[in-house]
A and B are shown apart, each in its own frame.
Chain A
Amino acid sequence: MKAHSTAAAPAGNAGPRAVRGARWAAAAVVLGLALLAALPALGINQYYQNMLLLTFLFCVLGCGWNIMAGYAGYVSLGQSAFLGIGAYTAAILAVRWHLSPFLVAPLGGLVAAVFALAVGLVVLRTRGHSFVIITIALLFILQIVALNWPQLTNGSTGITLPLPPFKKPWQTAPFYWYMLALAALSVWLSAWIRRTKFGMGLIAIREDEDKAGIIGINTTLYKITAFMASVFFTGIAGGVYAYYLTFIDPIGMFNILLSVQTVLVTMLGGRGTVWGPVLGAFVLEPLNETSYAYFGSNQSHLVVFGLAMMLIVLFLPRGIIPTVGDWWAARTAAARGADGSAQAAAAAGTAPGAGAAGPRAAAAAVGEEDSA
């Protein structure tokens, strides 16, 4: 958050160095994406391909959750509900219409957004903590509905999706690429929102919602729009995930653990930052898989989650990116101070000098405005 707010502000008078920095960053992102996309063609083994695919899934979940929780400050524990909605939408439509789940997955995103709209209209008119409760409730209600509406969802039996037609060695590569694309789009959406007036309004809501309203920000509309944006790609990812698993049931699809892991991923990387969820996903998902590999498929990975959560709250309450960003800023400031450069002195001098120079500057400014 910190790094981005400061990066956004001086953009207008950015020097050539900042422009060059932005170009390098863009180049690094494109290169990283190309590398990840090339991995299946380079013959990466199934185990790592699966791990990366799930990492991308958590990027999608985390980036989405971050729009609502990181930018607007509304924490939800129901991100996985929208994964389930997307999964069921795609599964039901694919089976009924005899279409590829890949084709109908985007409809899952739309249905998820409509759900978010309906929930948002009820709960986001007001402020405060009801949101987190309602999102947990939504998750469990959807699970109960999915269990008890067999005509639509096949109940506890679950739905078996059509078998993917892809041949070895490309069996899972299309899922990998689809999920990678969704992760990239999620990051793009999150970054785009962060740069816009909409994103600034969300941050204003997080900082002081009453004040945001007073200065003309339609807080209800912002929150509902943000909620819809935060679940859209998650809904699409649900369809892709369902197809990848080829079988879904209510317990697996409306799973609160996925929501908890989404929160964890984003908190670890840095809530409110664009890249936080990505970093968190790339750290936690491999950790998760490793704990499966070491301790077997029992509940021991929950202990790993619990420990990770505790460590984050204790030592990195703001997440990796803001903490490292601050440390870096302090370090460069100290280095500049040691240089004793005129620039640093001038920058520091503006703060105390402002009060004294103020009235004259103000008077001059008034004169200017009048003549203009």
Chain B
Amino acid sequence: MRAILRVERLTKRFGGVHAVRECSFEVRQGSITGLIGPNGSGKTTVFNLITGMIPADDGRVIFAGQPIERLPRWERAHRGLARTFQITRLFREMTVLENVVAPLSRFSWRALAQSAVSGPERRRAMELLDFVGLSQLAHRKAGELSYGQQKLVEFAQVLMQEPKLILLDEPAGGVNPAMIDRLAGLVRELNRRGTTFLVVEHNMPMVMSLCDPVIVLARGSKIAEGSPKEVQNNPAVLDAYLGD
């Protein structure tokens, strides 16, 4: 199977600290790939580098066959890359519906002049809110929702971009178990329809049931990769989590 995302020797230093060090890995098209590692191993930094939140010091990011490491973040989004955040980030003063229609999958001057919430986009957004089970809250302010509900809104927002690859940063963090099951169900459903996922997650049962393969980072580089079973039994992984 071909790789939708290839990270090559990605490097990022903060002062003297190597947050990400010559990190290389691939995400197979159509997979739900897990990205795990102890705290401070550079998982979120890798996400930030891939999506262009921060510039890389060195290395390449190849997405759908094209280098994207020099593109601004909106260009990367237009190419089909989307992400959620560890701490959900919504436009709190906007309504839930406005949040979901806000993403743009391409740029055009004409689209800018269109009504903010209208037409097919509005319908699509309502469908997505239905999909995550929040259509009753469409006209509430996003900031008024519970944390779990905000996560679902962010999920719908990401889907509005019709991305090829979705990076999920701790989707289960701070969410109750019922909601975790629901999120995992949505991810599987979307994956079945062709969306690829790269998931950073600390909740090991979720990672082990959802992801295959699993990539393990430690100190900013990949130390292991394989099926959940293989990774669990890998001595280097145990060492990274429990060692030093």
Contact = CB atoms under 8 A, between A and B. Distances in A.
**Bind each other:** yes
B13 interface: no
B115 interface: yes
A11 B117 contact: yes
Interface stretch (B32-40, B71-79, B198-206, B234-242): B71-79
Contacts of A207: 91-94
B118 A210 contact: no
Contacts of A195: 115-116
Interface stretch (B17-25, B135-143, B215-223): B135-143
A355 interface: yes
Contacts of A353: 136
A208 B89 contact: yes
A180 B164 CA distance: 51
A199 B116 contact: yes
Given A196-B115, A362-B131, A365-B127, A5 B93 contact: yes
A197 interface: yes
Interface residues of B, number: 60
A354 B116 contact: no
Nearest to A10: B139
B95 A216 contact: no
Contacts, number: 154
A215 B77 contact: yes
A196 B114 contact: yes
A351 B146 CA distance: 10
A211 B112 contact: no
A369 B94 contact: no
Interface stretch (B3-11, B56-64, B96-104): B96-104
Contacts of A198: 112-113
B74 A203 contact: no
A215 B104 CA distance: 6
Contact of B94 (A197, A203, A219): A203
Interface string A199-219: 111011001101111111111
A270 to B, nearest CB: 13
A8 B78 contact: no
Interface in A336-372: 350-351, 353-355, 357-362, 365-366, 368-369
B208 interface: no
B130 A216 contact: no
Contact of A218 (B74, B114, B137): B74
B210 interface: no
Given A200-B117, A215-B157, A220-B72, 11 more contacts: A5-B141, A195-B115, A199-B116, A207-B93, A207-B94, A212-B102, A216-B77, A355-B146, A358-B133, A358-B134, A365-B133
Please list the 8 inter-chain residue pairs (A to B) with the smallest Cβ-Cβ separation, ordered nearest first: A358-B133, A216-B77, A362-B133, A365-B130, A215-B103, A200-B116, A207-B91, A216-B104
Interface of A: 1-2, 5-6, 8-12, 195-201, 203-204, 207-208, 210-221, 350-351, 353-355, 357-362, 365-366, 368-369
